[in-house]
Amino acid sequence: MKATTAVIWATIYLIILYVVPNYSSSALLTGLLYVSFPVIFILMVIIVLKDDSIKSKELGKDDEWGYADKDKDELWIM
């Protein structure tokens, strides 16, 4: 699953999480939604971190992490 798909599904879940308790009288359904909330979002984070569809250069021995779309000379340095 791609990162964008995981984010879309997590967003849909979040909307359902806040709509269902307002329109449903089922305490069991509401409880299941709230209990499963952390699992859904932890899975989303794992999928986003493991997604390798966006290619970026590998860091060299003395390189530091930074923005892939900016050169270090373009960034403001304190």
| Domain boundaries, position 16 | 3-40
| 9 assigned to some structural domain | yes
pLDDT in tens, 5-50: 999 999 999 998 888 888 877 888 888 888 999 999 999 999 988 8
**Alpha helix locations (H) across 1-78?**
3-23, 27-50
In a domain, 76, yes or no: no
- Write down the mean pLDDT value for the chain: 82
Domain annotation covers residue 22: yes
d(CA 16, CA 14): 5
Residue 23 in any domain: the answer is: yes
Our count of domains for the chain comes to: 1
Q: What is the pLDDT of residues 41-71, one digit of tens each?
A: 999 999 988 888 777 677 777 776 666 666 6
Confidence of residue 2 (pLDDT cuts 50, 70, 90): confident
State the Cα torsion 63-66-71-76 to the nearest 10°. -120
